[in-house]
Structure 1
Amino acid sequence: MNRRELLRAAATLPLAHTALANSAFAQAAYPTRNITMIVPFPAGGQADLAARPVAAALERILGKPCIVDNRAGGAGGSIGNAQAARAEPDGYTLLMTLSSLAVLPEADRLFDRPVAYEVSQFAPVARVLADPTLLAVPASAPWKTLQEFVDDAKKRPGQIPYGSSGPYGTLHVAMEMFAASAGIRLLHVPFRGAGPALTALLSGTVQALASAPGTLKQQVEDGKMRVLANWGNERIASFPELPTFKELGYKDVEFYIWAGLFAQAALPAPIMSRLREAMAEGVKAPEVIKTFETAGSPVAYLDAPEFSKFVAADSARLIAAVKKIGKVE
């Protein structure tokens, strides 16, 4: 390098240093404006239950409004997930979504559709809830036990309607997993989210629903519906008398409906660190703990490294289940 080139290179160093400093300052100052937390379902479901108290806690901790945006476009949450995936990786568009995050791209591939998004576009921030799914029926339904339900379904193949949050969403996969194991065929009625599906069960439009304890507990206590089985590996505190599918002989039927916060994979590390700190503090807030425990869904917090491992393991299990179920409507 000659003298002139050396002087020209040296002249750029302060500018480069200033640019780096400004970038670091901008990230350290995060947030400077409102944050949007996309929930890819209507109000009333597990993702919405997780999002609202968490958003309120983040708003208090970060000092800027955190607005829950229900993108209830259907498709099992795929539309809202895809919108979050395409957002700028600046920490101002977050996603509170469910375990179906990994299932939906596989469903697209199964039907040879364009894939709306890939899981690799997201960075897990924190898990908030993780509940086994429960099988609910209206209080007026004739079935008092799971065996009665199965026996009736075998007599009337394809005639018992069940609701879901959309094709290959969490509620759909859980029910088809059970139906395949029991050797029965049910009638799938998809809705735009778990909230509308729950309303349909209460009105008698559908006769069965797989849903999280937090969205069912009050309805069961009010005598509007009953639960027949638990998709978890063990019984849960909010429904201690409810047997698991495994207890009832369905050894391969296990499904959890977890909710977690995600950002984009390219999110700068300083902003990710700030979000992780805020989430770790937020889930300890008394109002958050009380809201979840009242709903029967206690906090099941995992920080980003552990949550990433959890997502990878759970996704592999669910993708295998979807491939086994195959194409269903």
Structure 2
Amino acid sequence: MEAPHREGLRRVITFSEFKTKLTYEDFVPIARLNADPATLAVRVDSPYQNLEEFLSAAKKNSGDMKVGNAGLGSLGHLAAAALEDKAGIRLNHVPFKGANPAVLDLLGGHIDAVAVTLVEVATHVAAGKIRPLAVMSDRRIKAGWEGVPTLRERGIDLLIGGWRGMATPKGTPPEVLVILRAMIANTLQEPAMRETIAK
């Protein structure tokens, strides 16, 4: 029998529970606004000081390490499941209704770690309450994350992240698309916007 998290993952990917009939074909992309890699993070007082210690404990206690995520099939869930496969470990995936409840339960000591995007823990990392063990990007991240290694640096070839963007309904007039793309491109070059995104 498959592990419960694999069952849930398969169920979500089949899209059997979605009520909308919308697909990507119903939209026209305008612009990608940002991209955030996933991270594996623990409380600052966690016994796991680095990724190697976390993975070692996960191997010794197969299936006991509780890792929160934003819900079944979320980016964090997929990232942690991929990490399991690449690192040869087994985790206890704990789905929440969003990343914020998962992070709050981590801070409360109810779970061992979270798998989320950087943005979802950045405030707590800056406050010294959460320690990221690794980022799932191709290079280290700036803005206070320079000391956090990538999984690739630790010998795990895994890149996972999420991105946010803007789109319009299919059928939007071409002249409107041109204006929207130009406005967003200009906005993304504004120093204040670039500084905010970098943070």
Structure 1 equivalent of residue 152 of structure 2: 246
Structure 2 equivalent of residue 149 of structure 1: 54
- 2:89 aligned to which of 168, 184, 196: 184
- Secondary structure of 2:150's aligned partner: coil
Aligned ranges 1:289-308 → 2 under 5 Å: 289-293=194-198, 295=199
- Secondary structure of 1:247's aligned partner: helix
2:133 corresponds to 1:228: yes
- Matched AA of 1:288: M
Shift, 1:136, TM fit: 0.7
How far apart, in 1, do the equivalents of 2:125 and 2:196 lie?
18
Q: Is the 8 A contact 1:161 1:206 kept in 2?
A: yes
Distance 1:226 1:175, change over 3 A: same
Shift, 1:104, TM fit: 10
Q: Is the 8 A contact 1:214 1:292 kept in 2?
A: no
Q: Is the 8 A contact 2:70 2:116 kept in 1?
A: no
2:123 corresponds to 1:218: yes
After TM superposition, the structure 1 stretch with the greater mean CA deviation from structure 2, 280-289 or 113-122, is 113-122
**Normalization by structure 1: what TM-score?**
0.52
- Matched AA of 1:164: N
- Matched AA of 1:287: A
Q: Is the 8 A contact 2:38 2:115 kept in 1?
A: yes
- Secondary structure of 1:154's aligned partner: helix
The RMSD of aligned alpha carbons is: 2.3
Aligned ranges 1:1-329 → 2 under 5 Å: 107-108=13-14, 113=16, 116=20, 117-238=22-143, 239-251=145-157, 253-293=158-198, 295=199
* Percent of residue pairs identical: 32
CA offsets per residue over residues 284-327 of structure 1, 9 Å max, x none? 2333223222x3xxxxxxxxxxxxxxxxxxxxxxxxxxxxxxxx
- Matched AA of 1:192: K
Distance 1:176 1:272, change over 3 A: same
Aligned residues between the structures = 188
**Normalization by structure 2: what TM-score?**
0.83
CA offsets per residue over residues 189-211 of structure 1, 9 Å max, x none? 22222222222222223221123
Shift, 1:137, TM fit: 0.6
After TM superposition, the structure 1 stretch with the greater mean CA deviation from structure 2, 233-242 or 134-143, is 233-242
Shift, 1:114, TM fit: 5.5
Higher relative contact order (CA closer than 8 Å, sequence separation 6+): 2
Larger strand percent: 2
Structure 1, unmatched stretches of 5+, are 1-102, 296-329
How far apart, in 2, do the equivalents of 1:181 and 1:188 lie?
16
- Secondary structure of 2:154's aligned partner: coil
- Matched AA of 1:133: A
Structure 1 residue ranges, 4+ long, deviating more than 6 angstroms after superposition: 103-106
Structure 2, unmatched stretches of 5+, are 1-8
